[in-house]
Chains A and B, each alone.
Chain A
Amino acid sequence: MATPSSITDVLRRPASRSFVSRLRAGNEIAYLITLVATVSILAVVGLIVAELWQNSQPTVKTFGWHFLHTSTWDPNGGTFGALPFIYGTCVTSFLALLIAIPLGVASAIFLAEMAPPKISNFLTFLIELLAAVPSVIYGLLGIFILLPIIREYLVPFLRSTLGFLPIFRGPFYGVSLLSAGLVLSVMVVPFIVSVSREVLLAVPVEQREAALALGATKWETTWQIVLPYASTGIVGSVFLSLARALGETMAVTMVIGNTPAIAASLFSPGYSIAAVIANEFAEASGQLYVSSLIFLGLVLFGLTIVINAVARILILTTSQRNA
């Protein structure tokens, strides 16, 4: 705390002080230090982009756009095509969202519209803990618990009911696109639930009251009035979890099968961008090999940045409209 003498000091000071005296007060130093820290964060992000860009140049120069739409991944032969990984990443993320969106939005509806606030807060707390579980632990449970369950129950069921579809044909070894999609869906549900619930809670009460007064049931109010009002924000939460699913590494690596192939069947093993980097980067030898993996990292980086940016804008738009 300031002593009386420093108060008189302040009063005696001329309006425009010399830089040195301001420096002595610690003001400028504190300002400079915090400014440097802030700028260094911008620099870190710049550095990430620069490193990824620079280190992926050999691959860009050698293969160009062909890298992204050819499917031969042959480190020994020196040919690199990223299509199997892009395919695997997209299929597993899509599958994850397909399962997670209905589950997540329905839970958010229950938590925002029906549950009493205390119970809702407690359940949300539990669901958010689900998001705190490390991904390697999801992988561990995926390998030893989910894979046997899928093999014993889910696959025979899908074969007998939907077996006429090409996506449910072929042999099943356990590790597969299907398994990866299922693990991912569990991992992204918490994000959809917690963001969607916030968005739903932000819908003005008057909207609900008006619908109920006109004779709508609780469900009709929710489905026809509240959900459309909150839809932008919910789409935002979906984009947020899509970005998370695309970049998820460990759990996917452990159950996807790590086979660079493009197969129509969800039962067959695949590979994802993040998984191939995790598996091969430490052992990759040769400039072109390493640079191809880094280029994959750049692709992943670009994808998640764009999707995250869209998600932020969507969520921001809804919360500002309601504010």
Chain B
Amino acid sequence: MMMEISHGRRIVNVVMLSLSGVCTILVVGVLFFILGYLFAHGIRSLNWAFFTQLPKPSGEIGGGMANAIVGSGKVLLLATLIGVPVGFLAGVFLAEYSGKTFAFVVRYTVDLLNGVPSIVVGIVAYALVVRPMRHFSALAGGVALGIMMIPIAVRTTEEFLRAVPNPLREGAMALGATKAKTIFTVVVPAAISGLASGMMLNLARVAGETAPLLFTALGNMFWSRGWLQPIATLPVMIYNYAIAPEEDLHQQAWAAGFVLLTLVLVINITARMIIARGPASSRR
């Protein structure tokens, strides 16, 4: 015999459950709203000059962000060269060598570093690079973003190396390979697709960072020569143009926002899809 559930309880049930569904739709809707708006606005303001020309002096219409696009590339390259090797090697240490207590301490520190606000990292990069060298530079921006890349690089490496099955290690050892040889010729290659996509996600995360670049890379209206000059980057340009009074600059900010978001999302989606398929392919 079924017990009757009272009318009131049934109504509460339906109302609350539908409400939770509505909340989900609302949150997901925000994403589509952002995408739609940036797409509509960005496409309209995007033209060839955006990719090929320098910014015009203030007051003049037109110009582009060629220098900021190249600048972002240079700063991100530096950041990758700093953050990925350090994070990768530390991740290898945690996964393959470290004792329990030390690994716990390191993991916790890495988590803390991951939680440090980006603006604080900017201050530190300023104190470490800009002040001793006495001027803003691409290098300082790269150091700031490089520090920000370390935590994810460590966690990604450790996670994907741990996912490599032990028999693979034992097989290599049984063939007489040293531990180092096992790690770098057997374990790492087995995890390579996951590692690569993890690092891509990491790069996408810092590609949009603005705060730590404000007083490290600063900005530049021209081509910057070498690595020790102030350098323009896309996120900082978006910020400067968005808070500027001129309508033409707002249009360019939309265009730059569109380019940046497309870049970040494409990398994100690709990397996540590779990771989602990852474990199966590494177990092959």
**Chain A residue at minimum C-beta to C-beta distance from B208:** A134
Is the pair A132, B205 in contact by a Cβ cutoff of 8 Å?
A: yes
Interface residue A167 (Cβ < 8 Å from any Cβ of B):
no
Residues of A contacting B89 with CB < 8 Å?
33-34, 36-38
Shortest CB-to-CB span from B168 to chain A, Å, is 12
Given A139-B239, A140-B253, A247-B119, decide whether A31 and B180 contact each other with a Cβ distance below 8 A.
yes
Is the pair A217, B215 in contact by a Cβ cutoff of 8 Å?
A: no
Residues of A contacting B238 with CB < 8 Å?
136-137, 140
Given A41-B110, A45-B113, A133-B34, decide whether A27 and B24 contact each other with a Cβ distance below 8 A.
no
**Chain A residue at minimum C-beta to C-beta distance from B207:** A134
Given A123-B28, A218-B13, A254-B239, decide whether A41 and B117 contact each other with a Cβ distance below 8 A.
no
Residues of A contacting B209 with CB < 8 Å?
134
Is the pair A140, B257 in contact by a Cβ cutoff of 8 Å?
A: yes
Chain B contact-residue range equals 35 or more
In-complex Cβ contact of B264 among A110, A134, A300 (8 A): A134
Residues of A contacting B111 with CB < 8 Å?
308, 312
Interface residue A111 (Cβ < 8 Å from any Cβ of B):
yes
Residues of B contacting A107 with CB < 8 Å?
20, 23-24, 26-27
Residues of B contacting A104 with CB < 8 Å?
27
CA distance A38 to B103 in the complex (A): 10
Is the pair B28, A127 in contact by a Cβ cutoff of 8 Å?
A: yes
Interface residue B68 (Cβ < 8 Å from any Cβ of A):
no
Is the pair B117, A304 in contact by a Cβ cutoff of 8 Å?
A: yes
In-complex Cβ contact of B94 among A2, A38, A220 (8 A): A38
Is the pair B183, A30 in contact by a Cβ cutoff of 8 Å?
A: yes
Residues of B contacting A48 with CB < 8 Å?
113, 116, 120-121, 124
In-complex Cβ contact of B257 among A25, A137, A274, A282 (8 A): A137
Given A30-B180, A126-B28, decide whether A247 and B120 contact each other with a Cβ distance below 8 A.
yes
Residues of B contacting A312 with CB < 8 Å?
108, 111
Interface residue A114 (Cβ < 8 Å from any Cβ of B):
yes
CA distance A35 to B102 in the complex (A): 11
**Chain A residue at minimum C-beta to C-beta distance from B17:** A219
Interface residue A95 (Cβ < 8 Å from any Cβ of B):
no
Is the pair A51, B175 in contact by a Cβ cutoff of 8 Å?
A: no
Residues of A contacting B183 with CB < 8 Å?
30
Residues of A contacting B207 with CB < 8 Å?
134
Residues of B contacting A7 with CB < 8 Å?
175-176
In-complex Cβ contact of B181 among A26, A44, A145 (8 A): A26
Is the pair B268, A129 in contact by a Cβ cutoff of 8 Å?
A: yes
**Chain B residue at minimum C-beta to C-beta distance from A44:** B147
Residues of A contacting B126 with CB < 8 Å?
281
- Our count of residue pairs bridging A and B at CB distance below 8 angstroms stands at 265
Residues of B contacting A55 with CB < 8 Å?
127
Given A140-B257, A219-B13, decide whether A2 and B181 contact each other with a Cβ distance below 8 A.
yes
CA distance A104 to B150 in the complex (A): 29
Within 8 A of B (CB), among A107-124: 107, 109-111, 113-115, 123
B1-32 Cβ-contact flags toward A at 8 Å (1 or 0): 00101000110110011011101101110110
Interface residue B235 (Cβ < 8 Å from any Cβ of A):
yes
Is the pair B210, A305 in contact by a Cβ cutoff of 8 Å?
A: no
Residues of A contacting B113 with CB < 8 Å?
41, 44-45, 48
Interface residue B78 (Cβ < 8 Å from any Cβ of A):
no
In-complex Cβ contact of B235 among A29, A114, A136, A246 (8 A): A136
Interface residue A205 (Cβ < 8 Å from any Cβ of B):
no
Shortest CB-to-CB span from B131 to chain A, Å, is 9
In-complex Cβ contact of A217 among B13, B122, B178 (8 A): B13
Interface centre among A40, A137, A246 (most CB of B within 10 A): A137
Given A48-B116, A215-B5, A297-B120, decide whether A134 and B260 contact each other with a Cβ distance below 8 A.
yes
Is the pair A308, B112 in contact by a Cβ cutoff of 8 Å?
A: yes
Interface residue A263 (Cβ < 8 Å from any Cβ of B):
no
Is the pair A134, B210 in contact by a Cβ cutoff of 8 Å?
A: yes
Q: Could you list some 21 contacts between A and B, CB below 8 A?
A: A2-B177, A27-B179, A33-B89, A35-B93, A41-B154, A44-B150, A106-B20, A110-B23, A113-B20, A127-B31, A132-B204, A132-B264, A133-B34, A133-B261, A136-B208, A189-B27, A193-B27, A249-B118, A249-B211, A281-B214, A301-B120
* CB-based closest 9 A-B pairs: A134-B208, A247-B117, A37-B89, A30-B180, A34-B93, A308-B115, A106-B23, A7-B176, A2-B176
Additional 15 contacts, C-beta under 8 A, given A2-B177, A133-B264: A2-B176, A36-B89, A42-B105, A48-B121, A104-B27, A132-B205, A133-B34, A135-B210, A136-B235, A136-B239, A137-B208, A248-B117, A250-B211, A278-B119, A294-B123
